[in-house]
Chain A
Amino acid sequence: MQEPSAMETKKMEKNTDPAVEGGLERLTQEKITKTINEVLEKETGIRLKTYVETCMRCGLCSDACSYFLSNDRDPSYSPAAKVKQTIWEMIDKKGKVSKDFLRRAVHISHLECNVCRRCSMYCPFGIDIAYMMLLVRRICHKLEITPQYIQDTVNSHSVTLNQMWVKEDEWIDTLQWQEEDAREEFEDLRIPLDKEGADIMYSVIAPEPKFQAGLIYQAAVMMHAAGMNWTMPSMPGWDNSNMAMYTGDNEISGRIARTFYEAAANLKVKRIVMGECGHAFRSIYDVGNRWVSWAMPPFEVVHALEFYHELLTQGRITIKENYTKKVTLHDPCNVSRGRGLHDKAREVVNMICTDFVDMVPNREHNYCCGAGGGVINCGPPYKGERMVNNRVKAEQLKATGAEVLIAPCHNCHSGLEDIVHHYELDMEVKFLGDIIFETMEKKVYKQGE
């Protein structure tokens, strides 16, 4: 493995993030103490206390964390160490912590943890470190010291109910433009908007219409070829991403989730199919529903991996020519560890590809891409650091010797692309949908055929 060039790991002494620095400047000691104690008293309970009292400071969770491993076992990156340097101290000092402490706490919780939950599988007691890191972010949010880029996406959510400031007409325009393009290939292809009572509401994240409209095109072709009765909402709620969930802005996060479910409810659809994104899936399947008081989502929520599996096994889509390049598959935390879809994903890959090589470790044990949990969303200022912090992933990828890396998650996709470039791995990063689209029979499915 090549050395991560002049980019040694060094702890951020001074964070130059304007939002963090500006926020810190505005804070008074009184406000810091009051806010921390408020969150600790009102928003946490025995769960946090039990975690703190049960943790034996054994350090066994360290080996789980890609940050720890990528930084040559630097102890400060160990999962429990992140807790020690943040929430434990806040508890110990009863909220009387300094601005320097907070600067570091923002950094640890937002940029040194992907809330990927891998460590919970390595702690003999199953302590949920990710929960505690999100709690730190919640405190940072209330102190208004969230990193600038990710805060900006939350602001966008707040104003437009989507992550990318996509205006309503832009959204509809994009869909119509994709439909038009696709009609050159398929005469009667439609992207049905607001079709009441459709079987499926198809849902994407805002970066798709903004930068990757081709993905919507591909999905439409699949839906068309498979003969699905589907729709997309024209109204807010079409974006299934949720960055507020990662900044601890629970109020906005809840608004986003509610709008999403309402869109589905208004359309009276039977179920929701989500594009290839892990964090969006987490927000709808695991987080947003809880915030709006549903133990489980009120709709059947299906991730693209599961949906592809269904289309292929039911013969609604047939593969014309198998994909022959050597491929490997990245397990997105939020749909493997977060939904157990890793085996189905492998079945799908094996149905379309002839040369599949697995990464080690894999399935629930796979390393995070290093971009998830809002880390990549903290933006370009932290990219160099992110590359250093993710060396194990690069090593893992390189060991497969694959030509194509399938990353069925938007965050993973972007994060892995960065890694592939930085470590000069000769790999192409693709969505699973890309490959299905490339290899599928574009013939239209007819019932009973």
Chain B
Amino acid sequence: MNGFIDFIMGPMVWISVMIFIVGLILKVAGIVRKVREKESYIFSYMTLYHSLRSIGAWLIPFFPRATRQQPVFYAVSYIFHLALFVVPLFLSAHIVLVEEAFNVSWPALNDGVADILTVVIVAALGFFAGRRILVPEVKFLTSVKDFFLIFMVLLPFLTGFLAYHQVAAYEWMMIVHILSGELMLIIIPFSRFSHMITAPLTRAYMGSEFGNVRHARDW
């Protein structure tokens, strides 16, 4: 048992982080290579200026008209995505682990704040799931896969939260927490989670088409 825990807390962490990083890099490289091979015209329309203009416009909360039409969704979504990165990266427990292994560290989030943000993430996931069930146009598009993806995100955060509060079966919670966190990292490049890296690409292309060719705005 201890050997197993050592493994998932040691090498496995690095394996999953590597798969996550290398996977995403290969993904982008693959896209670029395939565009070169078969759809090189795409590059002739893309400009850095219009790509960044569009991405920038969409990063400003409630600047695009579409985001103002769905204020609740976008508010939840902005906060959710922010917390999704902030919590794991700035959690003191995580930083301590990194410090022990590499002797590098960075400022940690106050544990209470991290705790609240975790609740926010879980609530946001509940909101997304609820939307999938209750909003007809979203329901129409939803399949089991979508709930699976929500569950995949939920698991590490929920178990982390429960472990931190030592609600029950601490050791098991920790194991599930670590495993699910790793699993999530591993599947990011191979699932729709990869929108974290492909969305800027599709947005850049659309931004360029609108800005460069059509002299119009896309927000």
Contact = CB atoms under 8 A, between A and B. Distances in A.
Contacts of B37: 45
B44 A295 contact: yes
Interface string A93-129: 0000000000000000000000000001111111110
Nearest to B206: A126
B153 to A, nearest CB: 12
B61 to A, nearest CB: 12
B53 interface: no
A121 B199 contact: no
Contact of A60 (B41, B44, B70, B201): B70
Contacts of B138: 57-59
B115 interface: no
Contact of B31 (A46, A84, A122): A46
B101 to A, nearest CB: 34
Interface string A28-61: 0000000000000000011100110111111110
A116 to B, nearest CB: 12
Contacts, number: 129
Given A56-B192, A62-B137, A295-B45, A126 B70 contact: no
B135 interface: yes
Contacts of A53: 192, 194-195, 198
Size range of the interface on A? Answer: 35 or more
Contacts of A60: 66, 70, 73
B82 to A, nearest CB: 15
B207 interface: yes
B46 to A, nearest CB: 11
10 contacts: A45-B37, A45-B39, A47-B39, A57-B143, A60-B73, A68-B137, A76-B140, A120-B206, A127-B202, A365-B65
Interface of A: 45-47, 50-51, 53-60, 62-64, 68, 73, 75-76, 78, 80-81, 84, 120-128, 286, 290, 295-296, 336-340, 342, 361, 364-365
Interface of B: 30-31, 34-35, 37-39, 41-42, 44-45, 54, 58, 64-67, 69-70, 73, 135-143, 146, 192, 194-195, 198-199, 201-203, 205-207, 209-210, 213-219
